Structure 1
Amino acid sequence: MYTQTDLDDAVAAGALSAEAAAALRAHIEAQRHTLVVDEEQFRLLTGFNDIFVAIASAILLFAVAWIGQRAGMALGLAIEGEGPSPLAGAAVAATAWGLATYFTGRRRMALPSILLLLAFVAGVFTAAGFALVLMLGAARIEDSPQVAGLLAAVAGAVAAGAAWLHWRRFRVPITVAAGAASVVAIALGLLVAALGNAENMRDIVLGFMLLLGVGTFLVAMRWDSSDRARLTRRSDVAFWLHLLAAPMIVHPVFTLLGLNDGQATLGEGFVVILLYIVLGIAALAIDRRALLVSALAYVLWALTELFKQFGAVELSVALTALVIGSALLLLSAFWNQARAAVVRPLPEGLQGRLPLIDRVVSPQPAA
């Protein structure tokens, strides 16, 4: 499997002419009856060996985490004697970096690179967090939300620095999203520390998460607008940022509106469906399906409750799946036409920042 970035790398290396690469892209578009830009491509697998290496890496990481945990307990470096040890996270992070030097740096394997990046950042985050808990004492943190928030912020800062180092070394597209998630952890930790035991903490945190989600979305759009034809690594970076931003936007909106309390009224059900339509229009405009996927659970629940209230109790789940599945498949089949209908009426300045809806493929240098 070859991605657009692979073709651009081949052009940059002189293995393929720019004209041949453009002709190949045009041929693929003609075969699939869709533009490359609307495929929302990102590389997950280069072959079954990716799955093989990912499984083997996961087993090895589990093993070193277990060994690190037992070593921490033996050395007295576990929380309250038998709790989590920072050595487990440190062992995972060190092993993930070492594996990445070969499978990411030399072999350029997609799925193992994603797994190893996530393991590295998560390992650094947990190692830093548990080390801080060990230094301060678990009892002190349990009694003080402010201290817990500050510790989360410090651990997030360490993880963000680790993600930056990983990006500088390996340039895995998901790394930027992992760094953004670490920054979100910093911000939420500082907010919790500032709020203390405020009665309305839940709503404030959800509202702040919504703002952070919107900020992440804007960062993703900045990456997207720098590669409107989606031919370089910048588009892959934007994909992962959108995947991070979508639940941060969708979940707080539905929760703050009281739409996920487990019982939907007729009005709430229609509100969920209306919001999903709005999200669908936004997803079409930016040509990213992550918004639709993130809100899917809410709309499935809302439609199920609506069918129950209209008397179709036994078939509510089946009818919901039928309606949503058919609608999403139709949208996928006519995605290009639907995008054109949404984007063309927009102002030219805004269109200039969105992915192209029709264009002649032109070769770009890899980034």
Structure 2
Amino acid sequence: MYSESDLNAAVEAGALSRTAADALRDHVAAARRAPVVDEEHFRLLTGFNDIFVSVALALLLVSLAWIGGSILTPLGGLGVAGAAWFLAEYFTARRRMALPSILLLLAFVGGVAGTLFGIVIEAGPQNLSPRATAAIFAGIALVASGAAWAHWKRFMVPITVAAGAAALVAVVAALAVVAFPQLAENFYPITLIGGIGVFVAAMRWDMSDRERRTRRSDVAFWLHLVAAPLIAHSLFQLLGVFGPTVTLPMAVVVIALYVVFGVVALAVDRRALLVSSLAYVLYALYALFQQAGAVELSAAFTAFVIGSALLTLSVFWQPMRRGVVSLLGDLGNRLPPVAMA
């Protein structure tokens, strides 16, 4: 299967004309009865060799972390970061392998952060105040975001921007705890604001490529994957969904929020919010069925209701999205195009 990145690379190399590439996209969209944008493509595998190489990379990087850490704690992260960058020069810059590139990016950023954590463990005092701990964490997260930026400038792996955004959210959350130590007990308002910020960034990348035919769309996809759990998890935790009991009003609020997330997902043509908040609506419905007396079958009823709803949404995604976008007026013209009736 050829991805959008492969088609764009073929056009840039002159192996395929832009007209032919557009004709191929239109043919595939017509055969699937859906516009290309509705497929929400992202590149993860170019073949089974990606999995083979990724397993080998994971074994190598874990062994480097283990050996280096046994000598001196910071050496574990340093070895992983150095090896990840070196290997990316081949598997990312030359081979353009999708899954190994993602793994190497995460290993590099994680290795940089791990090196700094190792230095703190080796040299830092044992009993730090919450404010000092948050300040150290903010510094490490800031360096990690800088590492992600450097990796992006060299290799431009789409997930890199999302990794940097997640690190920046961590920086903001940690600095907020430094300024207001009481937030250490409940930092969900900060992560909620951070999630909204990442969502806005994702939409900026999305709106710059409405047809979703370039790397910018892939960047937006990963940003949405970061934003969705930050928004959903923070919001539902603030509501106390996983408290001792789920009351009927609470369950109604959870389901209503899930409907709102569904409307947003339809408008922006991204499904990450629906997936990230799924556990909460499942829990709320499960609790309701138990309170209604269906103790033995509460899990089955919950799975049946949610599974049926999601399948219905999938089948009627295009007409439902058409209706939602039509209500947005001029804003709808800045979102990904909808399928014609």
Query: Which TM-score applies when normalising by structure 2?
Result: 0.97
Q: 1:357 is matched by which residue type in structure 2? A: V
Match of 1:238 in 2: 220
Match of 2:290 in 1: 308
- Per-residue deviation, 1:54: 0.6
Mapped pair 1:176 → 2:154: no
Q: 2:61 is matched by which residue type in structure 1? A: L
Match of 1:7 in 2: 7
- Per-residue deviation, 1:341: 0.9
Mapped pair 1:54 → 2:35: no
Q: 1:306 is matched by which residue type in structure 2? A: L
Mapped pair 1:164 → 2:145: no
Please state whether the residue corresponding to 1:123 is helix, strand or coil: helix
Match of 1:65 in 2: 65
2: distance between equivalents of 1:201 and 1:64?
A: 34
2: distance between equivalents of 1:126 and 1:66?
A: 12
What CA deviation, in whole Å up to 9, does each residue of 1:85-131 have, x standing for no partner? 11111111111111111111111000111111111101101211231
Match of 1:119 in 2: 107
Mapped pair 1:154 → 2:142: no
Report sequence identity in percent: 57
2: distance between equivalents of 1:116 and 1:46?
A: 16
Return the match for 2:327 from 345, 353, 360.
345
User: Kindly tell me: are residues 120 and 336 of structure 1, through their superposed partners in 2, closer, same or farther at Cα, counting changes over 3 Å?
Assistant: same
Match of 2:33 in 1: 33
What CA deviation, in whole Å up to 9, does each residue of 1:29-74 have, x standing for no partner? 11111110111100000000001011111111110010011111xx
Match of 1:77 in 2: none
What CA deviation, in whole Å up to 9, does each residue of 1:265-295 have, x standing for no partner? 1111111111101100000001000000000
Match of 2:84 in 1: 96
Mapped pair 1:23 → 2:5: no
1: distance between equivalents of 2:115 and 2:81?
A: 9
1: distance between equivalents of 2:59 and 2:6?
A: 30
1: distance between equivalents of 2:172 and 2:117?
A: 15
Query: Unaligned 5+ residue runs, structure 2?
Result: none
Mapped pair 1:202 → 2:204: no
Query: Which TM-score applies when normalising by structure 1?
Result: 0.90
Please state whether the residue corresponding to 1:172 is helix, strand or coil: coil
What CA deviation, in whole Å up to 9, does each residue of 1:132-169 have, x standing for no partner? 34333222x2xx01110110011011111111110011
1: distance between equivalents of 2:96 and 2:24?
A: 23
- Per-residue deviation, 1:218: 0.3
- Per-residue deviation, 1:201: 4.1
Q: 2:107 is matched by which residue type in structure 1? A: A
Q: 1:326 is matched by which residue type in structure 2? A: S
Contact 2:34 2:339 in 1 (8 A): no
Q: 1:68 is matched by which residue type in structure 2? A: G
Match of 2:117 in 1: 129
Q: May I ask how many residue pairs the two structures share in their alignment? A: 340
Match of 1:281 in 2: 263
- Give the aligned CA root-mean-square deviation in angstroms: 1.2
1: distance between equivalents of 2:122 and 2:70?
A: 16
Return the match for 1:188 from 165, 173, 189.
173
1: distance between equivalents of 2:169 and 2:75?
A: 25
Return the match for 1:247 from 225, 229, 234.
229
1: distance between equivalents of 2:251 and 2:84?
A: 45
Return the match for 2:313 from 331, 348, 360.
331
Query: Unaligned 5+ residue runs, structure 1?
Result: 73-84, 360-367
Which has more helix, going by share of residues? Answer: 2
1: distance between equivalents of 2:184 and 2:165?
A: 23
2: distance between equivalents of 1:110 and 1:179?
A: 18
User: Kindly tell me: are residues 207 and 279 of structure 1, through their superposed partners in 2, closer, same or farther at Cα, counting changes over 3 Å?
Assistant: same
Q: 2:22 is matched by which residue type in structure 1? A: A
1: distance between equivalents of 2:338 and 2:161?
A: 26
User: Kindly tell me: are residues 269 and 161 of structure 1, through their superposed partners in 2, closer, same or farther at Cα, counting changes over 3 Å?
Assistant: same
2: distance between equivalents of 1:324 and 1:202?
A: 33
Mapped pair 1:321 → 2:295: no
Q: 1:312 is matched by which residue type in structure 2? A: A
2: distance between equivalents of 1:28 and 1:233?
A: 20
- Bigger drift between 275-284 and 91-100 goes to 91-100
User: Kindly tell me: are residues 351 and 190 of structure 1, through their superposed partners in 2, closer, same or farther at Cα, counting changes over 3 Å?
Assistant: same
The structure with higher relative contact order (CA 8 Å, sep 6+) is 1
Q: 2:108 is matched by which residue type in structure 1? A: F
